[in-house]
Amino acid sequence: MQSFTIPLSNNATVAGIHSIPNPAASPLHRPLIVGLHGGTYDCHYFDATPDYSASRASIAFGIPFVSIDRPCVGGTSSFLPVPGGSNFNQETGRWLHKHILPALWSEFGNGCNCIVLLCHSLGVMGGIVAAAMHAQDEKPRYPLGGLIVSGMGDKASPSANNSPPPVYEKVGSDHVAMPVDVKDVMMFKPGTCSPEVLAHSDRLNTVTPVVELQQYPTIWLPTWRDSWAKHVAAPVMFALVENDVVFEANEEEIRSCTAAFENSVRVDGSLVKGAPHCMELSYWSQGWYARCFGFAMECSVSLVC
């Protein structure tokens, strides 16, 4: 994918990478898919290697794909410290809805009729907040066609509850890094990803805001249903993975999590058997991407038919 940096309406900047296929190869109804990475990764999470990249599906289906560094990570501007009266998740969603997604729509939305958010792990929080804000905005500056979620559940897994928290290395005053050997054990059950991907673990490892790690269990998990998910109106595709060491993942949890989107026009839920936390980097990668792009295209058609 190709790198970009574009200015925002709040005098900040957003950085990321994109795959923009020739419009001649695109379907009649074309979404713009925007990837939001999880913690300890940046925009390259969705473009780890040629074989484990959203660009393959982007080119195959003729659908543009953009992956950004989320606010406070990589080349995208930071809002830290979190403004008073807000929290990290809320501020991320506000930046997405007010500034980042309108800028991406203006820059990359030509020939598309909506944005579909593809969110992984901690990136899910800002994505759901942005989708909720979009639904409550009388004059949104971009059309939201759908929301895709993976790697974020509602309850900590039994292994997470029974294990000491991972040890992070402090990087500056606001960020931490996870040692790669610890991270690989958490993200991948043995045998679920290619040695090719693990060879890039150092390159893909990125610092994460401390406050995000602190607030997702204390602020996000207790409130996400009533504060945000119930306001989402766009279609939702929600997936948990069976071998997630972070979140409890079973059919009951799928039913519980999808029920939170009570005002969405469509909610699809699935438990992906065998897949690890970082499904997009695993052997399930291209099958999952094919499903995500298919859902996004369905969302695009549903807006006009």
How many angstroms separate the CA atoms of 148 and 238, rounded?
6
Q: Which two tokens stand for residue 208?
A: 């994460």
How many angstroms separate the CA atoms of 28 and 30, rounded?
6
Closest to 123 in 3D by CA, of 191, 26, 43 = 43
How many angstroms separate the CA atoms of 283 and 279, rounded?
8
Task: Encode pLDDT of 69-125 as tens digits.
Answer: 999 999 999 999 999 999 999 999 999 999 999 999 999 999 999 999 999 999 999
- List the CATH code of the domain at 2-302: 3.40.50.1820
Mean pLDDT of 123-150: 98
Mean pLDDT of 166-170: 87
Q: How many residues does the chain have?
A: 305
Question: Which H helix or E strand runs over 225?
Answer: helix 221-227
Radius of gyration (C-alpha) of the chain in whole angstroms:
18
| pTM of structure | 0.97
Residue 166: per-residue pLDDT: 77
Residue 162: per-residue pLDDT: 66
How many angstroms separate the CA atoms of 88 and 104, rounded?
21
Residue 156: per-residue pLDDT: 83
pLDDT band at 167 (very low <50, low <70, confident <90, very high): confident
pLDDT band at 161 (very low <50, low <70, confident <90, very high): low
Q: Which two tokens stand for residue 134?
A: 């979009």
Residue 24: per-residue pLDDT: 76
Which of residues 27 and 183 earns the better pLDDT score? 183
Task: Determine which of 87-101, 159-173, 211-225, 273-287 has the lowest per-residue pLDDT on average.
Answer: 159-173
- Considering the chain, what is the average pLDDT of its residues? 95
Residue 136: per-residue pLDDT: 98
Residue 32: per-residue pLDDT: 98
Which of residues 166 and 86 earns the better pLDDT score? 86
Following DSSP, what letter does each residue of 67-90 receive, concatenated? EEPPTTSTTS---PSPPTT--HHH
pLDDT band at 26 (very low <50, low <70, confident <90, very high): confident
Contact in structure between 229 and 260 (CB atoms under 8 Å): yes
Mean pLDDT of 260-276: 98
pLDDT band at 28 (very low <50, low <70, confident <90, very high): confident
Task: Determine which of 137-151, 166-180, 219-233 has the lowest per-residue pLDDT on average.
Answer: 166-180
Task: Encode pLDDT of 44-81 as tens digits.
Answer: 999 999 999 999 999 999 999 999 999 999 999 999 99
Following DSSP, what letter does each residue of 244-290 receive, concatenated? -SSB--SHHHHHHHHHT-TT-S-EEEEEEEEEES-GGGSTTHHHHHH
